[in-house]
């Protein structure tokens, strides 16, 4: 395993000869992706080159999940491809939660073979500041940027009740009310120009955000449903990289690329 700890690429790379490259992007927890089951991790390392990629909250990276440059993901992936002589047409991106939002956005910037978006959003949302209180949200920023400009986003609808729900681990009301009251059609993540395959796995009991409804919006708006699949799970939590049921779905899908 090779560790990269720079502002250009902060990740752990597991080499596996000339196999396809799988890039795993985590959610709103700072640093490298977490909550990956041993079963899935062992499978990935046995069958693919694997890059676990951090994108904020570590030295050299953005402190908060705000205005993350899409170029960071693009350049990190290009670096690994060139460094190890990998096939740039066989890249598979796996993103969970906010990482799923990023993964779907990347369909507009790289020519990957497939995108697996777990409990993802169909919209770009306001970014998450380092400190989670009402004061920190008074100057909203997009989660992502490109060419130095913020990507269009949906601003958070916040009040004390919503903040209280969020502090108790239920973020859904914030996202649902933000969509309802601050809707921005330009924030929608359009994947219709993407040439690769897309696999959406959502969670019907998601307390973070309405991933089932948002994944279905992506599916309903797709022009090419032959290359798009949506499976909704009924699991106890948000981290689909760790549950046997969702991991089995991921592995079954990835087996078609081996």
Nearest-angstrom CA–CA distance, 77 and 129: 26
Nearest-angstrom CA–CA distance, 93 and 99: 10
Nearest-angstrom CA–CA distance, 176 and 178: 5
What is the structure's pLDDT at 248? 98
| pLDDT by 10s per residue, the chain, length 258 | 999 999 999 999 999 999 999 999 999 999 999 999 999 999 999 999 999 999 999 999 999 999 999 999 999 999 999 999 999 999 999 999 999 999 999 999 999 999 999 999 999 999 999 887 677 777 899 999 999 999 999 999 877 787 777 777 788 989 999 999 999 999 999 999 999 999 999 999 898 999 999 999 999 999 988 899 999 999 988 999 999 999 999 999 999 999
Map out the domains of the chain as residue ranges: 2-257
**CATH number of the domain at 2-257, please?**
3.40.50.1820
Nearest-angstrom CA–CA distance, 29 and 138: 22
Which DSSP string do the residues of 213-254 spell out, in sequence order? HHHHHHHHH-S-GGGEEEEEE--SSS-TTT-HHHHHHHHHHH
What is the structure's pLDDT at 190? 97
Return phi, psi of residue 220, to 5°: -65, -30
Taking only Cα atoms into account, the Rg of the chain, rounded to an integer number of angstroms, comes to 17
What is the structure's pLDDT at 154? 98
Does residue 143 come out as left (phi exceeding 0), alpha (psi in the -120 to 50 range) or beta?
alpha
What is the structure's pLDDT at 157? 87
The beta-strand segments (E) located in 82-178 are 92-96, 114-118, 144-146, 149-150
What is the structure's pLDDT at 50? 98
Q: What is the pTM of this model?
A: 0.96
What is the structure's pLDDT at 16? 97
């Amino acid at each position: 395993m090779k560790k990269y700890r720079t502002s250009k690429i902060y990740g752990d790379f597991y080499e596996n000869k000339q196999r396809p490259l799988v890039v795993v992007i985590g959610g709103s927890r700072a640093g490298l992706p977490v909550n990956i089951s041993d079963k899935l991790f062992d499978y990935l390392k046995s069958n693919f080159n694997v890059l676990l990629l951090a994108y904020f909250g570590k030295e050299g990276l953005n402190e908060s999940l705000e205005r993350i440059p899409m170029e960071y993901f693009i350049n990190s992936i290009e670096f690994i491809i060139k460094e190890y002589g990998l096939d740039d047409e066989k890249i598979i991106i796996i993103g969970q939660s906010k990482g799923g939002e990023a993964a779907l956005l990347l369909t507009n910037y790289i020519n990957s073979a497939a995108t697996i978006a777990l409990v993802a959003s169909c919209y770009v949302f306001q970014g998450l500041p380092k400190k989670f209180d009402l004061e920190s949200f008074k100057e909203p920023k997009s989660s992502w940027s490109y060419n130095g400009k913020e990507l269009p986003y949906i601003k958070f609808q916040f009040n004390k009740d919503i903040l209280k729900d969020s502090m108790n681990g239920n973020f859904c009301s914030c996202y649902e009310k933000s969509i309802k009251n601050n809707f921005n059609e330009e924030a929608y993540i359009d994947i219709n120009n993407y040439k690769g395959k897309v696999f959406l796995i959502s969670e019907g009991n998601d307390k973070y955000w309405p991933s089932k409804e948002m994944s279905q919006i992506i599916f309903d708006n797709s022009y090419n449903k032959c290359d798009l699949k949506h499976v909704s799970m009924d699991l106890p939590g948000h981290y689909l990289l760790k549950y046997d049921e969702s991991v089995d779905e991921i592995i079954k899908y990835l087996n078609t690329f081996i």
